[in-house]
Structure 1
């Protein structure tokens, strides 16, 4: 069997197991990417979630000796939800981004890649392969771009002609030499809608992201959210879709190819108030299968508190007061103080005054003082 014939068999098998798109790239070092990553680090744009070793991120042979080919795969996910519950006064809801709808995509793509690895091992005994999804060393986007899956867009996503940017990416490094595909030309042109629409200005310019300002990153942090981002967070509990929803290439794109990615409306647009008292066990049972749960309940609860403050939801005051006065976590107490300061009912102010007398954490006490000062000024 020639390498071209093997490639065609791999493509056919990938379709049989539900992979929406597959591409092939050489395993040569990503030299241009390495230069970009060095500048990215020097500018302080890293999130801290990345693989710190830039050589591993850009030299596939460090991950698999004698690597010759990288196979990139893409699975499409839905952009629209049926019967989405409405957020309204007295019943406010938060939202998980589309990349956290359904079952955690890491597991789904890893299962597909494992099937692909087994198929290749059967066809070429002795071939070695290693796969990764998102949390691996390689840049999924750089691999997908080289493999012709799509072009690297100004919103730092891969845009495929078929599915827009609503795709999950994964890759397999293998010792088999297979004919590479041709990368697609950048088709963003003069469009700058994603850069202009980014709520925090995290898209510095087309294709460059300051991760520390990105709402998708900020929703995953566990510390006090910097003040300048709280109102911009809105009711987002995990992730942000703005730079995708404004993209003209995504207009009309909505694919429901995989049952695993179908959202449970009550889980991806959950009521905010119940989240404030949810136990670790309840959180794991309800949200544990979703990608957005990986940092645990604390960031989600903090973001829910911010969302209630954003909505100025008066019905939340008693529960926010409970957090302010009784929660053992300073970040949650301080965030509750901020939210009560946004709501500013007489009950909210009274609770802040109680908190002021009890609070011992310096940062939380500062939040209480600032919340009370906002009341005095208003």
Structure 2
């Protein structure tokens, strides 16, 4: 099975973006979080993305953004599960990377996915990581959620994108907790402020996405007509 067919299957399952990276593009991955640490026989890594409704950025309530984020996570986990099963029907071994699951890395005091979704996406040519530590894609800006598959088959990789972020630092300046003042995001500061229980309603919410809101590239070409100036 070639790269073209791989993408056709992923798009048929509901992905909006799909790209492929060769295993040699992960030489700088942190120890313990390289694709080969999860699947020693991995030869290619497939990244896919699903667009996120931009209207949620303009909503005064944080409920729609939170609920859509939870729903799209479930959607993407279903896509990656169905994809891996389809690959096994063709005698190709694949391992799905959970869309939104992380573990504590005591060596760096950070939460990490098994393999970084955004670094996989960058290596697979979907987009580039911006100053706000989010992936920016030409089509949807940062309004895209990411999934990935580790694959035993050698596949033709996609060309990586040139940097899309111009380091305007608008995201740095607007962050309420200065989580972006250094090149490496202060992950815990960001998470403690942005994610948690609503004190009045006692439900978990995403309370901040200011860095995503203000980014000049937050919508991409597909959504640019929806940009609000207020």
Normalising by structure 2, what TM-score?
0.78
Deviation (angstroms), 1:183: 1.4
Q: Return closer, same or farther for 1:100/1:249 CA change in 2, 3 Å cut-off.
A: same
SS in 2 for 1:118: helix
Distance in 2 of aligned mates of 1:147 and 1:134: 19
- Which has the greater radius of gyration? 1
Corresponding position: 1:195 with 2:172? yes
Matching residue within 190, 208, 213 for 1:240? 208
Which string of whole-angstrom CA distances, capped at 9 and with x for unpartnered residues, describes residues 271-307 of structure 1? xxxxxxxxxxxxxxxxxxxxxxxxxxxxxxxxxxxxx
Matching residue within 90, 96, 100 for 1:131? 96
Matching residue within 213, 217, 234 for 2:192? 217
| 1:165-314 paired onto structure 2 within 5 Å | 165-206=142-183, 208-214=184-190, 216-220=191-195, 237-251=205-219
Distance in 2 of aligned mates of 1:168 and 1:139: 13
SS in 2 for 1:205: coil
Deviation (angstroms), 1:21: 0.3
Corresponding position: 1:25 with 2:21? yes
Q: Return closer, same or farther for 1:105/1:190 CA change in 2, 3 Å cut-off.
A: closer
Q: Is the 8 A contact 2:52 2:145 kept in 1?
A: yes
Distance in 2 of aligned mates of 1:29 and 1:82: 33
Normalising by structure 1, what TM-score?
0.49
Matching residue within 88, 92, 107 for 1:121? 88
SS in 2 for 1:104: helix
Matching residue within 91, 100, 118 for 1:141? 118
Q: Which residue of 1 aligns with 2:12?
A: 16
Q: Is the 8 A contact 2:21 2:45 kept in 1?
A: yes
Distance in 2 of aligned mates of 1:83 and 1:158: 20
Which structure has more helix as a fraction of its residues? 1
| 1:9-158 paired onto structure 2 within 5 Å | 9-28=5-24, 30-34=26-30, 55-57=31-33, 59-81=34-56, 95-96=62-63, 98=65, 100-101=67-68, 103-123=70-90, 125=91, 127-132=92-97, 133-135=99-101, 136-158=113-135
SS in 1 for 2:32: helix
Deviation (angstroms), 1:188: 1.4
Q: Return closer, same or farther for 1:221/1:122 CA change in 2, 3 Å cut-off.
A: same
Aligned length: 206
Q: Which runs of 5+ in 1 are unaligned?
A: 35-54, 87-93, 226-235, 256-378
Q: Supply the RMSD in Å over aligned alpha carbons.
A: 2.8
SS in 2 for 1:184: coil
Distance in 2 of aligned mates of 1:191 and 1:83: 22
SS in 2 for 1:200: coil
Q: Is the 8 A contact 1:194 1:244 kept in 2?
A: yes
Higher relative contact order structure (alpha carbons within 8 Å, sequence separation ≥ 6): 2
Q: Return closer, same or farther for 1:120/1:251 CA change in 2, 3 Å cut-off.
A: closer
Deviation (angstroms), 1:203: 0.4
Distance in 1 of aligned mates of 2:170 and 2:187: 19
Which string of whole-angstrom CA distances, capped at 9 and with x for unpartnered residues, describes residues 126-183 of structure 1? x221111131411001101100011010010000000010111010001111011121
Which string of whole-angstrom CA distances, capped at 9 and with x for unpartnered residues, describes residues 235-280 of structure 1? x94242100110111257786xxxxxxxxxxxxxxxxxxxxxxxxx
Deviation (angstroms), 1:100: 3.9
Distance in 2 of aligned mates of 1:112 and 1:248: 30
